[in-house]
Structure 1
């Protein structure tokens, strides 16, 4: 299925003259913010844009792993406070950083076309020869067969740590924090910091111009990426219908349906960034709107895991009455000017996330989450 899926924008909206956008300060955050600005300029060439940089708790606390800070909305709270005060009009987020429940009066007004959602392995520069050995290299090969070279993996993500430990209980893992440039500098300064490789989001590496640092994209069945990874979410006020119409041309339905199913899954499992939940979403190779959601939940020590999957026809209109529900109960996405077909597909994306979550719950995932 082509990634260039669009939805019609039949009703006109008066173009804005000035938009103030909230963003984190990091280089990657600013790159992503300017991606949104460029897209908006295409539709509203007379509009002027102001970026307001705002520090978040997650940006300020760098001496502890994220899971040990003990707070939610680490990268969003301060931005949302400014949105609610009216000092900014919209916020540009990495959607994977957004909690599944937003503050009252806040919503996701657009999800743009998704970048590659996978994780990538980044070897330090003097080890890049390892991915030119002619081997069918995967993460298991790196762990098992390259231990004389690759001994310490750098990551702060509980999901990544749990998956590494699931593959080997003997793997050495070291916490790494800071922005993308900082982490890559730490990797390459091996005598001081001691990292042999990092596991990072492919999308961030590509957007920041570090595509050449990717040693291995982790896309096989051994590795699941974060919920909504690779997607940019634009947050606005839920009662600001004009702003939602302004954002409408940036909406990519395929990304909306993928991320909706993933976020609903996580919400049903009461998970967040501090819980080892990984996902994969795949479209069928035909013209039908068939979406497969795969999910894996692990204990933090990697010793236990459950996984499940399901495929949903998003155009299915034969939904049993007892399976109807209010979308607002499961998603804070508010896409303006949609038609019945879009709404049907969105409903079925929610059903898909709920169904996979139920399968995992029936398999005992709640016991794993309690111990995580």
Structure 2
């Protein structure tokens, strides 16, 4: 077996995810040699601007794919929610390992629940989707954007710059944070997560058959199906980081369901559709069709026209 090189962003979370995945892989292939090559992406370099203002999808992927084309690396371990829903030619998501917690975690000073925040409280998030849902639940709070790694964001909250922040539960858990720091986890049926939140996507060249076969040892078919439905919905709705869009697929009593969400940034409207179908690609399109019938596509068109 040849030696493999993994490309990873330099952030603490990305490196931790990469190391955890390699450990998982080595349980099946103990003699496998794997190196990690750190790659700084555009999204890592731009830390003082809201992600939606600098291009959104693909910000954390392009430089890594360039390194794969140049054969500097063999595979990349992405947070699947950062990967554009349309894959460039020559690449494939060969493996989706078991998904971590997909929920959004609400953290606040003194562990106050969201409903109990005083009027006028400032909640920090870098996500338009989270901000829109928060404002739809409470129009008496202020949503302000926050960037930085998990530790930085938590420290900014503790320093009083924010009364509360929202983070992905998956990132907190992968980095070893205790549940004690979280005031509450939002129900994914009521506060819709980002597309593929909590899931990793292992990307490689589509002609690397040896690696693709190896990656099947840690592939979760169920999580791959669920994230495929979510990503199909995103692809059809032309969802970008400029659009508050979310999706949550899961199996209920053996049937595959997808809940899709589209909102304007100010939270003034909310379109939610939940449907079931056995084929994930078809399911994503069914939810998208219903969204279009309801008029949700108008929100996306308005946002895209204003860019």
| TM-score, normalised relative to structure 2 | 0.94
Is 1:90 the equivalent of 2:60?
no
Alignment partner for residue 152 of structure 1, among 122, 130, 150?
122
Is 1:185 the equivalent of 2:152?
no
Question: Residues of 1 paired with 2:36 and 2:55: CA distance?
Answer: 29
Q: 1:165 is paired with a residue of what secondary structure?
A: helix
Question: Residues of 2 paired with 1:37 and 1:274: CA distance?
Answer: 33
Q: Is the 8 A contact 1:25 1:54 kept in 2?
A: yes
Aligned residue in 1 for 2:281:
350
Q: Is the 8 A contact 2:55 2:241 kept in 1?
A: no
Question: Residues of 2 paired with 1:25 and 1:113: CA distance?
Answer: 23
Question: Residues of 1 paired with 2:17 and 2:69: CA distance?
Answer: 22
Aligned residue in 1 for 2:45:
60
- Listed one character per residue, the Cα deviations across residues 312-364 of structure 1 (whole Å, up to 9, x for unaligned) are 2x3xxxxxxxxxxxxxxxxxxxxxxxxxxxxxxxxx11111111111101111
- State the shift of 1:72 in Å: 3.7
Q: Is the 8 A contact 2:188 2:248 kept in 1?
A: no
Distance 1:367 1:229, change over 3 A: same
Give 1:69-84 correspondences, 5 Å limit. Answer: 69-70=54-55, 72-84=57-69
Aligned residue in 2 for 1:246:
214
Question: Residues of 2 paired with 1:98 and 1:70: CA distance?
Answer: 13
CA RMSD in angstroms, aligned pairs only = 1.5
Q: Is the 8 A contact 2:132 2:244 kept in 1?
A: yes
Aligned residue in 1 for 2:142:
172
Computing the radius of gyration from Cα coordinates, the structure with the larger value is 1
Aligned residue in 2 for 1:344:
none
- State the shift of 1:221 in Å: 4.5
Unaligned stretches of 5+ in structure 2?
none
Moved more, 216-225 or 25-34: 216-225
Question: Residues of 2 paired with 1:354 and 1:32: CA distance?
Answer: 31
Q: Is the 8 A contact 2:68 2:205 kept in 1?
A: yes
Q: Is the 8 A contact 2:246 2:261 kept in 1?
A: yes
Alignment partner for residue 260 of structure 1, among 219, 222, 228?
228
Aligned residue in 1 for 2:175:
208
Q: 2:10 is paired with a residue of what secondary structure?
A: coil
Alignment partner for residue 18 of structure 2, among 25, 33, 47?
33
Give 1:38-49 correspondences, 5 Å limit. Answer: 38-49=23-34
Give 1:1-372 correspondences, 5 Å limit. Answer: 16-70=1-55, 72-124=57-109, 127-128=110-111, 130-131=112-113, 139=114, 141-142=115-116, 146-147=117-118, 151-190=121-160, 194-211=161-178, 212-219=180-187, 221-285=189-253, 288=254, 290-312=255-277, 314=278, 348-372=279-303
- Listed one character per residue, the Cα deviations across residues 214-268 of structure 1 (whole Å, up to 9, x for unaligned) are 1100106441100000001100001112211111111101100100000000000
| TM-score, normalised relative to structure 1 | 0.78
Question: Residues of 2 paired with 1:34 and 1:220: CA distance?
Answer: 28
Where do 4+ consecutive residues of structure 1 move more than 4 Å?
none
Q: 2:72 is paired with a residue of what secondary structure?
A: coil
Moved more, 68-77 or 302-311: 68-77
Q: Is the 8 A contact 2:189 2:259 kept in 1?
A: no
Question: Residues of 2 paired with 1:274 and 1:230: CA distance?
Answer: 21
Question: Residues of 2 paired with 1:110 and 1:69: CA distance?
Answer: 29
